[in-house]
C-alpha cells in the first residue's frame, strides 16, 4: 500500500497540517469513497475509519465530526494550494462524505462495530459510484466586497449553512496571514430590499477592514 502522504493529493500537507488534522483528512477521504486517493483498498479504508472513531474520547459526539470538517475546510483554504474552486475538491467539502461520515459515526457510536459494518454496506453498496450525486464547486464573484456597493455574491451554495461557511472559506483564502475575525453583522435591508453579511477583518497591529456578501432574497 502506498504512503498516503506521498500521493499528489496530499503533497506537502504533512508539513502544514497537524497529525490530528491529517488523520481526519484521511478519514474524510474514506467517507467520500476516495480511498484510492490515499493508497488504500476498501477493506483497509474501512478499518482506518473505524480506528479513527475508536481513538476518539469516549464522550465525543457527532459535533466533533462536524467540527473536523469545518476546520479542515478553513485550513485547506488558508494553504491556498490551487484556485478557490479547486480546493473544494478535497473530501471535507464533499456533501457525499458528510452524509456518509455522519451515518457511519452514529452507527458506531450507538451500537459499535457490528452496526458500523452494516452502515458501511449501506453507504457503499454495489454500484454506488455510478449513483454518486455530482457536486459543483461554490463560486464567489463580485468587485472586492470592501463595501456594500461592491458586495460579493456566493453562487451555488445548496443551503444557508453552506453559504455562510463559504464566506469563511473566502476569508481564509484571501486574507493576509495573521488576520483575526472581528465583528459580524447582518444588515437591515437597503432601499432595494437587499441584506448584506458583513465581516470585520482585523490585521495586527492596527488595520481593520470589512468584507460584504450580498444575501439572497
**Mean pLDDT, range 188-212, rounded to an integer:** 94
pLDDT score of 40 more than 50: yes
| pLDDT tens string 53-98 | 999 888 888 899 999 999 999 999 999 999 999 999 999 999 999 9
Q: In what order do the strands lie in the sheet with 139-141?
A: 139-141, 152-155, 207-214, 196-203, 180-186
What does the alpha-carbon distance between residue 65 and residue 63 come to, in Å, rounded to a whole number?
Answer: 5
Question: Domain coordinates of the chain in residue numbers?
Answer: 4-123, 139-214
For residues 197 and 9, the model is more confident at: 197
In 3D space, the residue among 197, 193, 201, 190 whose CA is nearest the CA of residue 163 turns out to be 197
| pLDDT for position 147 | 94
In 3D space, the residue among 24, 49, 45, 25 whose CA is nearest the CA of residue 35 turns out to be 45
pLDDT score of 2 more than 50: no
Q: How confident is the model at residue 8 (pLDDT cuts 50, 70, 90)?
A: low
| pLDDT for position 5 | 52
- Inter-residue long-range contacts of 35-39, CB under 8 Å, 24+ positions, other chains counted: 37/4, 37/7, 37/9, 37/91, 38/4, 38/7, 38/9, 38/10, 39/1, 39/2, 39/3, 39/4, 39/6, 39/7
| pLDDT tens string 147-192 | 999 999 999 999 999 999 999 999 999 998 899 999 999 999 998 9
- Number of Cβ atoms within 10 Å of the Cβ of 166: 25
Q: How confident is the model at residue 217 (pLDDT cuts 50, 70, 90)?
A: confident
What does the alpha-carbon distance between residue 38 and residue 36 come to, in Å, rounded to a whole number?
Answer: 5
**Mean pLDDT, range 40-54, rounded to an integer:** 95
Q: How confident is the model at residue 4 (pLDDT cuts 50, 70, 90)?
A: low
pLDDT score of 52 more than 60: yes
**Burial letters for 36-75: b for 16+ Cβ neighbours within 10 Å, e otherwise?**
ebbbbeeeebbebbbebbeeeeeeeeeeebeebbeebbbb
Q: Which pTM does this prediction carry?
A: 0.91
| pLDDT for position 11 | 65
| pLDDT tens string 107-125 | 999 999 999 999 999 999 9
| pLDDT for position 1 | 37
| pLDDT for position 58 | 81
Amino acid at each position: 500500500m502506498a504512503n498516503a502522504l506521498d500521493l499528489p493529493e496530499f503533497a506537502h500537507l504533512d508539513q502544514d497540517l497537524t497529525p490530528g488534522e491529517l488523520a481526519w483528512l484521511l478519514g474524510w477521504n474514506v467517507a467520500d469513497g476516495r480511498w484510492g486517493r490515499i493508497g488504500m483498498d476498501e477493506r483497509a479504508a474501512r478499518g482506518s475509519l473505524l480506528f479513527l472513531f475508536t481513538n476518539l474520547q469516549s464522550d465525543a459526539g457527532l459535533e466533533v465530526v462536524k467540527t473536523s470538517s469545518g476546520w479542515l475546510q478553513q485550513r485547506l483554504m488558508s494553504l491556498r494550494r490551487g484556485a478557490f474552486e479547486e480546493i473544494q475538491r478535497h473530501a471535507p467539502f464533499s456533501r457525499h462524505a458528510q452524509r456518509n461520515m455522519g451515518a457511519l459515526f452514529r452507527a458506531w457510536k450507538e451500537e459499535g462495530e457490528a452496526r458500523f459494518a452494516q452502515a458501511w454496506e449501506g453507504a457503499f453498496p454495489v454500484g454506488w459510484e455510478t449513483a454518486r450525486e455530482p457536486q459543483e464547486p461554490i463560486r464567489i464573484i463580485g468587485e472586492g466586497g470592501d463595501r456594500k456597493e461592491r458586495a460579493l455574491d456566493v453562487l451555488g451554495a445548496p443551503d444557508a449553512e453552506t453559504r455562510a461557511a463559504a464566506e469563511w472559506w473566502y476569508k481564509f483564502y484571501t486574507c493576509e496571514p495573521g488576520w483575526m475575525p472581528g465583528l459580524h453583522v447582518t444588515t437591515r435591508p437597503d432601499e432595494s430590499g437587499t441584506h448584506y453579511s458583513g465581516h470585520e477583518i482585523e490585521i495586527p497591529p492596527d488595520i481593520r477592514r470589512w468584507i460584504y456578501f450580498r444575501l439572497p432574497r
